[in-house]
């Protein structure tokens, strides 16, 4: 999407993380939006999720794996 589709604060968040053009956004708390760049080899812990980005060598595209963790107390 073009930058004019985002508010100024969101554009600032995206500018810091969008180094490769694509990002993952954690919008759970709208006053604390987190942005994570999608780049090969990246691994993130986002709330209760483990997210990893790998390259599919055969097809030459990035794969995003999202694993949710069930917290039992």
pLDDT tens digits for 50-63? 999 999 999 999 99
Domain ranges within the chain, ordered by starting residue: 3-68
pLDDT tens digits for 26-36? 989 988 989 99
The Cα–Cα gap between 35 and 6 comes to: 14
Q: What is the pTM of this model?
A: 0.75
The Cα–Cα gap between 46 and 2 comes to: 26
Task: Give yes or no for a contact between 35 and 25, defined as CB atoms under 8 angstroms apart.
Answer: yes
Average pLDDT over residues 43-50: 94
């Amino acid at each position: 999407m073009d930058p004019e589709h985002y508010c100024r604060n969101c554009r600032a968040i995206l500018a810091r993380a969008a180094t490769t053009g694509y990002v993952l956004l954690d919008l759970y708390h709208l006053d604390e939006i987190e942005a994570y760049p999608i780049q090969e080899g990246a691994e993130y812990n986002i709330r209760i999720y483990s997210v990893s980005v790998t390259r599919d060598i055969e097809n030459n595209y990035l794969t995003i794996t999202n694993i949710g963790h069930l917290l039992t107390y």
